[in-house]
Amino acid sequence: MSTYIDSRDPSKHDAYDDCPPLVARYLKDSEVIRGRSPRTVNGYYIDLRTFFRFLKQSRGLVPADAEPDSIILTDIGLDLIRSVTATDILEFLYYATRQRGNAPATRARKLSSIKGFYKYLCTKLKLIEANPADDVDSPALKKALPKYLTLSEGLELLSQVNTDFYERDYCILTLFLNCGMRLSELVNIDVTDLREDDTIRIVGKGNKERLVYLNDACVSSVSSLLAARAKLQNVEPTEKALFVSKKTGRRLSARRVQQIVESCLKSAGLSGRGYSPHKLRHTAATMMYQEGGVDMLALREILGHAHVSTTEIYTHLGTQKLKEAAQASPFSSVKAQPPTRRRPQDSDPAQHSGHLPAGLSETQPEQTEETDGTTHPP
């Protein structure tokens, strides 16, 4: 099974030797030629491996009760790959829903991996005439507003850092909340990425580089971290990582950073609310847009988005802005004023003139009209 060799260095993984040869070629081409990140390519690998295991089982090529990990895929050739239909893909998505409990977003990602692979065979290698996944629609995704900390919660989080490596952990939170970087981006920061003009070099998705400007809070926290890092006896001179373990002196893993954030959230009384390092990224983007007035194009550059449409999810209106919008309505100050109910004789002209309507006497009851045009006694 292909997996990352070292969680601290996700750019290294085993060869895709357990894949169908054409799948392995696609994965290598995606990373080397198309420049996809190793993490993204590994996602393709997992999705395609799951799909072809399902295909062999559904076609009766392996026992129905075979364990997925025991299904060999290296014997899958072009004939089986070419025989895949849209129905097969739909059955796989149904299996992913019913048997694996995959959410719509996960199923959409699996479908995207399959589409990408067959597009490669169709347009790049020209081994098949049509992409069977083109006729399969992506699962509908629920559009939810990003979850983020309020300004007061963010300040409380920064004030309650109580760990055994304060300078490092405070710096982690500060960069997340001020720069909105991804977890993988923060973990891979090297000391040499820091520049004298108060910028930092970030390597984002697809190995795309960008420069992020550090504000005063970030510069101060980074300076404190560098001073504390220099005092660690177990950090080798060749270690480039900015964020290192106090015990081993080596680069922190992504999981360790998650644990640090979870610990700080707990200290601030914010645990159990679904907050995570990525929610701190949401928080940075939301605060820059709502409180700092940063425009969408600038926010896109800061966050490292390839498309501005991705940035739009961070530009949601906060509750305060919704409240202000509601108060801005010209009808917001209008209060209910129930009309004074008057007696019928007060508005009857005949009463004021001293005469009854023609055909009525003082003892004859008046008739009421119904909506069908007929009259009935009251």
275 is catalytic: no
| Catalytic (active site) residue 314 | yes
Strand pairing of 368-369 and 209-213?
A: unpaired
Asked if 305 is an active-site residue, the reply is: yes
The answer to whether 202 and 304 are in contact (CB under 8 A) is yes
Alpha-carbon distance of 24 to 11, in angstroms, equals 17
Q: Is 279 a catalytic residue?
A: no
Residue 64's SS3 state is coil
Count the residues in the chain: 378
Residue type, 79: D
Q: Which of 56, 168, 182, 282 is catalytic?
A: 182
Residue 12 known to be catalytic: no
Side-chain half-sphere CA neighbours of 165 within 13 A: 24
278 a catalytic residue: yes
DSSP class per residue in 297-346: HHHHHHHT-SSHHHHGGG-PPPHHHHHHHHHTSTTTT----PPPPPPHHH
Is 153:269 a contact under the CB 8 Å cutoff?
A: no
Residue 373 Ramachandran class (φ > 0 left, ψ -120 to 50 alpha, else beta):
left
Q: Which residue is catalytic, options 13, 110, 251, 281?
A: 281
Between CA 146 and CA 168 the distance in angstroms is 27
Q: Pick the catalytic residue from 34, 39, 115, 205.
A: 205
How far apart CA 95 and CA 141 sit, in angstroms, is 18
Query: Would you please indicate which residues are annotated as catalytic (active-site) residues?
Result: 182, 205, 278, 281, 305, 314
